[in-house]
Homo-oligomer: A and B are copies of this chain.
Amino acid sequence: MEDKKIKAQKWFRTLRDQICAEFEKIEDELTDSLSPVGRFVRTPWDRPEGGGGEMSVMKGRVFEKVGVNISTVHGEFSEVMRKEIPGASEDPRFWASGISLVAHMCSPLVPAVHMNTRMIVVGGARSADRASPEPSPIAFSEGNAGGNFKQWFGGGADLTPMYPNDADTADFHDAFKATCDGFAPEYYAKFKKWCDEYFFLKHRNEPRGVGGIFYDYVNTGNWQNDFEFTQEVGKTFATIYPALVRRHMFEPWTDEQREHQLRKRGRYVEFNLLYDRGTRFGLMTGGNTEAILMSLPPEVRWP
């Protein structure tokens, strides 16, 4: 398991570097802008209880504010979290590594986006394995033969256009469908539905965006294959999103469209602070506030 942890952690950093390089390239491509070209600024942070991470934030002329956070943390789940996380009531020790990205764009014609993938390990005690109820649609494998822990992958990506457009939506969905289909026939339908259900603002009775995929608790018993799936999700994002940005970044927009974007961003804030599990749990359990709230848009209106 230690070897697997190192491989996953290394991958999230590699993916971060690839995405940041691609996003900076996009900044360079908008040559007719008067605004200065954006570059990522990196800020490492430590978690007093164990581990830490690195925020990368760019404020540019295509990307109004994009944050890419990688982190590898370990410790013990708090009392509150133990009730929420599968296996944590038996052994509260955990290890988690992942990448999390949110992009808010200058142009109201370029969709905002969110992507996150992670590997989680809970437990590690030498006591005998105990059974626990299935926590999710994706069953835990009994294949964790090497130790008394639970391990899984989670993540996903979803698109939030200000002006949804059938071609963009179809291309985004098709890209993730192809990736999912390469691993298991049931993945795509399941993960797309999960995404639609998760990114929904009940109080507005409206979805946050046009969806994508959302998965959690993925452990088929074949770690290498599950890891490859999570790698492919990251690579798919790193291909499809830049393509959508390039498709729209040169189009002129109006003040009215910008105003619409600023209002639509209000919904993004409402979702993240009212519903998002990562945001709420992170803030309530002493996570890094700056890294967690990096997801909030740079400018918002509730007129």
For residue A270, which residues in chain B have a CB less than 8 angstroms away from its CB?
A: 273, 293
Residues B302 and A301 in contact, CB atoms below 8 Å apart: no
**Is A130 positioned at the interface, with any CB of B under 8 Å from its CB?**
no
A202 and B283 CA atoms in complex are apart in Å by 8
**Is A203 positioned at the interface, with any CB of B under 8 Å from its CB?**
yes
Contact with B along A258-271 (1 / 0, CB 8 A): 00001000100110
For residue A303, which residues in chain B have a CB less than 8 angstroms away from its CB?
A: 59, 65, 298
For residue A300, which residues in chain B have a CB less than 8 angstroms away from its CB?
A: 269, 299-302
Given contacts A202-B283, A298-B303, A299-B299, 4 further A-B contacts (CB under 8 A): A65-B303, A270-B293, A273-B274, A299-B301
**Is A43 positioned at the interface, with any CB of B under 8 Å from its CB?**
no
Question: Across the two chains, which residue of chain B brings its CB closest to A273?
Answer: B273
A273 and B293 CA atoms in complex are apart in Å by 13
**Is A126 positioned at the interface, with any CB of B under 8 Å from its CB?**
no
Q: Which of B203, B280, B284, B298 contacts A301 (CB 8 A)?
A: B298
A273 and B271 CA atoms in complex are apart in Å by 9
For residue A203, which residues in chain B have a CB less than 8 angstroms away from its CB?
A: 283-284, 289, 292
Total identical chains:
2
Question: Across the two chains, which residue of chain B brings its CB closest to A104?
Answer: B302
Question: Across the two chains, which residue of chain B brings its CB closest to A302?
Answer: B296
Question: Across the two chains, which residue of chain B brings its CB closest to A289?
Answer: B203
For residue A297, which residues in chain B have a CB less than 8 angstroms away from its CB?
A: 302
Question: Across the two chains, which residue of chain B brings its CB closest to A279?
Answer: B274
Residues B65 and A289 in contact, CB atoms below 8 Å apart: no
Residues A283 and B274 in contact, CB atoms below 8 Å apart: yes
A303 and B302 CA atoms in complex are apart in Å by 17
A292 and B59 CA atoms in complex are apart in Å by 32
For residue A284, which residues in chain B have a CB less than 8 angstroms away from its CB?
A: 202-203
A283 and B280 CA atoms in complex are apart in Å by 16
Residues A204 and B298 in contact, CB atoms below 8 Å apart: no
Nearest chain B CB to A140's CB is how many angstroms away?
30
Question: Across the two chains, which residue of chain B brings its CB closest to A282?
Answer: B203
A8 and B299 CA atoms in complex are apart in Å by 40
Nearest chain B CB to A114's CB is how many angstroms away?
15
For residue A299, which residues in chain B have a CB less than 8 angstroms away from its CB?
A: 262, 299-301
A17 and B283 CA atoms in complex are apart in Å by 40
Contact with B along A93-104 (1 / 0, CB 8 A): 000000000000
